[in-house]
Structure 1
Amino acid sequence: MHIVIVGGGAIGRFFGAYFCKGGNQVTLIDTNSEVVDELNKNGIGLVRYIGGPQDTEEHFSVCADTDGKKIQQCDLILLTVKSFATRSAAENVAHLVRPESPIIFMQTGLGNQAILREMFPAQAILAGLTFVSATGLGNAKIRQGRSGTTYLGELGAVGELAGQVTPRLEKICKVFTESGIEARCSGRIIGRLWGKVITYAALNSLTSILRVPNGKLLEDTESLQLARELIAEGEAVAQARGVEPFVDDLFEQFQQICKESSNNLSSMLQDIINNKKTEIDAQSGTLVKYAEKFGMQAPRHAMMTSILHLLEKWSVEP
């Protein structure tokens, strides 16, 4: 299968490496020409800890380019860019998107579905979310972090929150699993996505503001209480939206993720450290907008959004 991955960051490279392991043809699209040059020269470097005195490193050859319009055909498109780049990234590969070569949005944010539905028929869009983590090491290498499940799902008809598990979805899910990625089909993918966004909106914002690795949030009652309040606020917004997050206890999920990735720096904290724009608007920011739409308030997420905007601004100023 020819798989095009739009976004050459850590998660894009993670999927690229594993799809190569599964015998697929992989093309990565990224706007950073230095990343593209490094990928074409050295491939993806996958660094993993498997026990023992040192890490293991494998390299996987891929094609990379800054312009998706050069690609004439593919079987699947993975969108792994930050949520604020969804529209421009999708436009770059729009000529490839069809029901027989669907696009899967994999971002941890709300609003990507609406953007893609403005551009493509619903039958050409799949939703995905992943609980794996990876950290970028230079332009081509990544260090694999937390293992986790990747969920894939059909969107269903416009206005519906549930989709069917179709033969197409099962076929694509099999490509993931045969490549070594733990993947499952989900009939309630939007509910799962909301659950992940609520959980990670708390984790990402707190680790970014406090500048600590994920596990540090478990060491103090104050940080745990802040997380609990942020999650409860997000759950209230989901309930008003009519979405069931599909996880019985999101605070328990939050603690489990922090424990399993205790030494990892969250993706949002990595963005702040590297003077990059974050996805706060697609996480806490969108929860605030939904709250306002339903006549509610989400003051904690509003505060997180404002603080992260200041950190973004100040991190790039002298």
Structure 2
Amino acid sequence: MRIVILGGGAIGRLFGSFLIKGGNNVTLIENNRITLDALQKHGIGLQPDNSSAEEVDRYPITALESADSIDAADLVLVLVKSQATLAAIKDAAHLIGNDCPLLSIQTGLGNLEIASQIIPRENILMGITFMSGTALTEGKVSKGAGNKTYIGEINGTFSSRLEKINTMFNRCGIETQMVKRIIGRLWCKVLTYSAINPVSAILQVPNGVLVSRMESITLMKRLLDEGQDVARAHSIELVYPDLYELLFDACENRANNLSAMLQDILNELPTEIDAQNGAIVRYAKERNISVPTHQTMVELIKLQECWKPESR
């Protein structure tokens, strides 16, 4: 299958390495010059679970700054941060159609609405992944805990194109399941990680530390409670019956992981706070719901983004 991946960060590299290993023709679009040069020169370097830094499997890949020169594809996979969604989809819009759907696998709310402004909604698939990784130098990525990926049609049907992608992902070693309520699952993940990510980034600790103290547990539960109130007000059917269990599982099963938001802060990069806690704040305002804890998280993370280490 001819696959175009938008985004060469940690998750883009993880998916890229698995898809290449599975025999697909993969092109990765990345506009960060340092990352692009590394991918063009070295390919993707996958550091397997629990391996040393020297143990890296290399996967040569076609890496480009833009999708302009690509004539056709069978799948466009969106793995950029939410703030880059608009530009990324505009760049690849000419590829998307009945024979080439767009599959967004991003942790954030609002990406579907952004994509729908550019391409027909019926050509959009949604997904979430619990694969995790850390982007390293020279195009390398270290795979963390978590494997499961969920994909679905927005209307909840199991279409032939969804089945084709599901079969291909699993064949490549990406443990994938088709689901009917993908939007509800997306909200569950966003609510859960909106409780984990900013707290870990502010405290600058791995995920597992967050469940070791009652103060951080109480703070995360308050964020979950506010988020669930917003979801209910918008009639979102949350698929997971117990988000507290999902939160504890995420922290304990990925105890040594640094959250994506913490990695961004440490690397002095923009975070996805606007598509996570910020989105919850926006949805809350639409229903006149008070979410003071989420608002505080947004303000604190934005301060961390603008204050460099030397000025803190």
Residue 243 of structure 1 corresponds to 236
Aligned counterparts of 2:162 and 2:310: Cα–Cα separation in 1 = 45
Are the counterparts in 2 of residues 110 and 286 from structure 1 also a CA contact under 8 Å?
yes
1:299 aligned to which of 289, 292, 295? 292
Residue 159 of structure 2 corresponds to 166
For 1:44-55, list aligned pairs within 5 A.
Answer: 44-49=44-49
- Structure 1 runs, 4 residues or longer, greater than 6 Å off: none
Residue 71 of structure 2 corresponds to 72
Alignment partner of 1:169: what SS?
helix
Aligned counterparts of 1:238 and 1:70: Cα–Cα separation in 2 = 41
Aligned counterparts of 2:147 and 2:211: Cα–Cα separation in 1 = 20
Aligned counterparts of 1:296 and 1:37: Cα–Cα separation in 2 = 46
- What is the one-letter code of the residue matched to 1:13? R
Aligned-residue offset at 1:50:
5.1
1:312 aligned onto 2:305: yes
Aligned counterparts of 2:136 and 2:47: Cα–Cα separation in 1 = 9
Residue 114 of structure 1 corresponds to 113
* Cα RMSD, aligned residues only: 1.4
Aligned-residue offset at 1:148:
2.4
Residue 18 of structure 1 corresponds to 18
Ranges in structure 1 where 5+ consecutive residues have no aligned partner: 157-162
Aligned-residue offset at 1:55:
6.9
> CA 1:18/1:291 → structure 2, altered by over 3 Å: closer, same or farther?
same
Residue 222 of structure 1 corresponds to 215
- What is the one-letter code of the residue matched to 1:77? V
1:83 aligned onto 2:82: yes
Alignment partner of 2:56: what SS?
strand
Aligned counterparts of 1:25 and 1:175: Cα–Cα separation in 2 = 12
Aligned-residue offset at 1:155:
1.1
Are the counterparts in 2 of residues 43 and 60 from structure 1 also a CA contact under 8 Å?
yes
Alignment partner of 1:77: what SS?
strand
Aligned counterparts of 1:278 and 1:19: Cα–Cα separation in 2 = 27
Residue 7 of structure 2 corresponds to 7
1:150 aligned onto 2:153: no
Alignment partner of 2:76: what SS?
strand
Residue 31 of structure 1 corresponds to 31
Residue 254 of structure 2 corresponds to 261
Deviation track 1:71-102 (CA, whole Å, cap 9, x = no partner) reads 11111011111101100010111100112101
Deviation track 1:15-51 (CA, whole Å, cap 9, x = no partner) reads 0000011110110000012212211221100001357
Aligned counterparts of 1:99 and 1:87: Cα–Cα separation in 2 = 20
Aligned counterparts of 1:238 and 1:49: Cα–Cα separation in 2 = 35
Residue 191 of structure 1 corresponds to 184
Q: Percent identity?
A: 44
Residue 204 of structure 2 corresponds to 211
Are the counterparts in 1 of residues 47 and 53 from structure 2 also a CA contact under 8 Å?
no
Q: TM-score, normalised by structure 2?
A: 0.97
Aligned counterparts of 2:247 and 2:112: Cα–Cα separation in 1 = 24
Residue 160 of structure 1 corresponds to none
Are the counterparts in 2 of residues 132 and 145 from structure 1 also a CA contact under 8 Å?
yes
Alignment partner of 2:150: what SS?
strand
Are the counterparts in 2 of residues 44 and 62 from structure 1 also a CA contact under 8 Å?
yes
Aligned counterparts of 2:5 and 2:138: Cα–Cα separation in 1 = 16
Ranges in structure 2 where 5+ consecutive residues have no aligned partner: none
Are the counterparts in 2 of residues 237 and 290 from structure 1 also a CA contact under 8 Å?
yes
Are the counterparts in 1 of residues 73 and 100 from structure 2 also a CA contact under 8 Å?
yes
Alignment partner of 1:114: what SS?
helix
Q: How many aligned residue pairs are there? A: 311
> CA 1:316/1:64 → structure 2, altered by over 3 Å: closer, same or farther?
farther
Are the counterparts in 2 of residues 133 and 146 from structure 1 also a CA contact under 8 Å?
yes
Deviation track 1:176-200 (CA, whole Å, cap 9, x = no partner) reads 1000000011110000000000000
Aligned counterparts of 2:280 and 2:207: Cα–Cα separation in 1 = 22
